[in-house]
A = this chain, B = another copy of it.
């Protein structure tokens, strides 16, 4: 599986993938590489990278064919004159690792529509796209260049998928969903199911058809078995660069900003907006009709019922206690309002006593 790259070629491909935004400079002799390894374990054909200066010494003795580190760390380690070996000076070695690993592990793909795929009449599939066996593309759907729709995935009516996307097995993109470029949908996620909307009527619930769509920007990743509901009237929106982990629920009319990350099991109720660059910890629950400002941080397992204007970190979960301490503590919690009153009353009583003593003394 492993392919071999000339380091110059790999650097050039990473430069392309990062759209020229990752500053890199190669020093020393040419080298051939196949993979990353920790500096101590690395040998011929391996790359070792440094993200934490505390581990710099291991780089010095590493037998890796290429060392990847920040210029200032290399200077600190080796002095002004770098040694006679291949070093990639890079402003962000971890980002280099991420980009380069994407190139090293890129799966080979058989382009075209498999004879056992089901591509309905009226679907438009780019000739460079891959539609695997038993994948489905319905009428009116469009699949962009180099996009791969894997087996069992369903691209429903009038869905638009951009270029260079990967849609893993058994994903469902429901009718009218719009997807940007370079998006990844992990297996079993469902995009564009109906939002949860019902009108009360004589003790029953009458379904309100959900006529909005889901609109997903470029470079979005959606985790396995995550669900993103279509909007009621307006669209549900996931901004570009946002990454959602597994088992997440995004409700109708939510507007998730750009470059957010959400860990697994998060739930966001309807009509909430999450600002750009927000980070949400696992299993956090965010109520409906809330605006979370850009740059906010929601702690894991926290329940968010409101927010002010400013980004901040909010966290809240009950601490797990050992053995019987939990029952004891819960018993106290249910008496907290009473305790608070007692404390106030006692405070007043002490003041009275204090006054009494003072008057007695005088």
**A residues bordering B, Cβ < 8 Å?**
18, 21-22, 92, 94-95, 97-99, 101-102, 104-105, 116, 118, 120, 133-134, 136, 138, 151-152, 154, 156, 168-170, 172, 174, 184, 186-188, 190, 193-194, 196, 198-209, 211, 219, 221, 223-225, 227, 229, 241, 243, 245-247, 249, 251, 259, 261, 263-265, 267, 269, 277, 282-283, 285, 287, 298-305, 312-323, 325-326, 328-337, 339-340, 342-343, 346-347, 349-350, 353-354, 356-357, 360-361
Contacts and interface: CB of A to CB of B under 8 A. Distances in A.
Given A316-B319, A322-B314, A334-B329, A188 B186 contact: no
Nearest to A356: B357
B118 A133 contact: yes
Given A300-B287, A320-B299, A205 B168 contact: no
Contacts of A326: 299, 314-316
A152 B170 contact: yes
A322 B206 CA distance: 29
Given A154-B152, A263-B196, A300-B285, A201 B18 contact: yes
Given A118-B151, A201-B92, A269-B263, A313 B322 contact: yes
A187 B193 contact: yes
Given A92-B201, A349-B354, A285 B285 contact: no
Given A267-B264, A282-B269, A342 B347 contact: yes
A187 B227 CA distance: 9
Contact of A337 (B134, B151, B329): B329
B118 A136 contact: no
Closest 7 CB pairs of A and B: A316-B320, A193-B224, A98-B199, A95-B201, A98-B206, A172-B187, A332-B336
A262 to B, nearest CB: 9
17 contacts: A98-B201, A116-B118, A134-B136, A136-B151, A136-B169, A168-B193, A172-B188, A187-B193, A188-B188, A251-B264, A264-B269, A282-B285, A312-B322, A316-B321, A318-B333, A349-B354, A356-B357
Given A134-B134, A169-B174, A314-B320, 7 more contacts: A97-B208, A152-B152, A170-B188, A196-B223, A223-B227, A264-B267, A350-B353
A101 B233 CA distance: 11
B300 A303 contact: yes
A245 B334 contact: no
A151 B283 CA distance: 31
A340 B333 contact: no
Contacts of A320: 298-299, 302-305, 314-316
